């Protein structure tokens, strides 16, 4: 049985507690939050769980094996460092840390302490993303030409990070997992209409081999859009997370270039369109699989699926995107 302590019971924390509560082999022992009111909600829902406003108390509790952190990103590093130093396994909400340096330090610390360091890249546990990964690994898409993701909606402004740090970790972690390639450069433009934090942003990620990724994040759209296009030489994918059931559509269509030396004005590019398949997806809740993975990786003493390195790669892109953002879209090498 892995005994768990939780830090942060705001927006996402209750979901984590609820899922680990139902995870075989996990025991929710203690929840820490600065708000007494939130802690009372914990007590009302889970009378057997201890509560505390004092993180020291939680992190030094010898009965706790692992700490789950879902606080504002600016606090991740110091909280996480303490937990690792106290010999706890660690699950960090995304984005992992506020800087690349912090992420690297946590990875090193976890290695030295031989503890599991996992980042909650939740979308990687969805049936949709896992299916797309399989389709790509099976070579169905052929060469991948582009990755285009839109994640916009009205109504969840953050106060400590801009829209890139808030929404793009989802797209960047999906991109990192699906493409499995090292990006060369990133650029980002954005704009802030309220205060200093950008509420709209466009991110471009350049990869080798003519592969381009683009992400549009926006807190200020009248409609909710969650749609990713992935274009390949053989097939193409539309992943629409708003669709209630047919989230992934695989289009058997493509383009072939014909070298026609004689008549350059003739059609050199041929289109092929075929069937569209919306495969059945595993509908197991992503959070459930993620919780299980954390517990399993501790018990099996192995790297988790979404480990610190995965978190670091996303943080590196976020940091570079922010750098580009400040310089109005200058291309930043990564």
Smallest gap from Cβ 167 to a second copy, in A, equals 15
Report CA-CA distances (Å) from 64 to 15, 67, 126.
20, 8, 29
Under a CB-based contact definition with an 8 Å cutoff, are residues 79 and 7 in contact?
yes
Beta strands in 86-218 (DSSP E): 89-93, 117-120, 144-154, 185-191, 200-207, 211-218
Smallest gap from Cβ 333 to a second copy, in A, equals 11
CB neighbour burial string for 305-315, b if at least 16 within 10 angstroms, e if fewer: bbbbebbbbbb
Residue placing its CB nearer to a second copy in the complex, 1 or 154: 154
Smallest gap from Cβ 125 to a second copy, in A, equals 21
Smallest gap from Cβ 224 to a second copy, in A, equals 8
**DSSP string of 145-181?**
EEEEEEEEEES---SSS-HHHHHHHHHHHHHHHHH--
Instruction: List interacting residues with a second copy (CB under 8 A).
Output: 47, 145-146, 148, 150, 152, 154-155, 157, 159, 185, 187, 189-195, 200, 202, 204, 206, 210-212, 214, 216, 218, 220-224, 229, 231, 233, 236-238, 242, 244-246, 249, 251-253, 255, 257, 264-265, 267-269, 271, 273-280, 328-331
Smallest gap from Cβ 203 to a second copy, in A, equals 10
Geometric angle at alpha carbon 25, from 23 and 26, rounded to 5°:
60
For residue 173, what are its two tokens? 């972690």
Smallest gap from Cβ 241 to a second copy, in A, equals 12
Helix (H, G, I), strand (E, B) or coil at 18: helix
CA distance 111 to 181: 24
Q: How far is CA 285 from the centre of its chain?
A: 15
């Amino acid at each position: 049985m892995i005994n768990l302590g939780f830090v942060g019971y705001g927006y996402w924390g209750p979901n984590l507690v609820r899922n680990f509560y139902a995870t075989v082999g996990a025991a929710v022992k203690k929840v820490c939050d600065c708000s007494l009111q939130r802690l009372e909600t914990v007590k009302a829902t889970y009378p057997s769980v201890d509560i505390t406003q004092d993180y020291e108390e939680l992190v030094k509790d010898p009965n706790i094996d692992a700490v789950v952190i879902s606080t504002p990103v600016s606090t991740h590093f110091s909280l996480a460092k303490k937990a690792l130093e106290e010999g706890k396994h660690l699950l960090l909400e995304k984005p992992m840390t506020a800087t690349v340096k912090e992420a690297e330090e946590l990875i090193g610390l976890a290695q030295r302490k031989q503890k599991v360091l996992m980042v909650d890249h939740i979308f990687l546990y969805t049936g949709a993303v896992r299916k797309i990964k399989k389709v790509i690994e099976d070579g169905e898409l052929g060469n991948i030409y582009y990755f285009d993701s839109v994640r916009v909606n009205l109504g969840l402004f953050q106060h400590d990070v801009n829209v890139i740090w808030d929404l793009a970790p989802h797209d960047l972690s999906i991109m990192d997992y699906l493409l499995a390639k090292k990006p060369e450069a990133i650029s980002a433009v954005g704009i802030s209409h309220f205060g200093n934090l950008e509420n709209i942003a466009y991110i471009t990620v350049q990869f080798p081999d003519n592969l381009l990724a683009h992400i549009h994040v926006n807190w200020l759209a009248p409609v909710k859009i969650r749609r990713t296009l992935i274009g390949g030489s053989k097939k193409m994918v539309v992943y629409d997370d708003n669709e209630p059931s047919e989230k992934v559509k695989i289009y058997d269509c493509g383009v072939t270039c014909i070298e026609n030396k004689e008549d350059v004005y003739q059609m050199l590019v041929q289109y092929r369109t075929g069937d569209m398949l919306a495969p059945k997806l595993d509908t197991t809740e992503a959070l459930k699989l993620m919780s299980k993975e954390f517990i399993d990786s501790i018990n099996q003493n192995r790297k988790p699926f979404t480990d610190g390195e995965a978190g670091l790669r996303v943080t590196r892109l976020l940091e570079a995107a922010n750098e580009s953002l400040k310089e109005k879209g200058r291309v930043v090498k990564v």
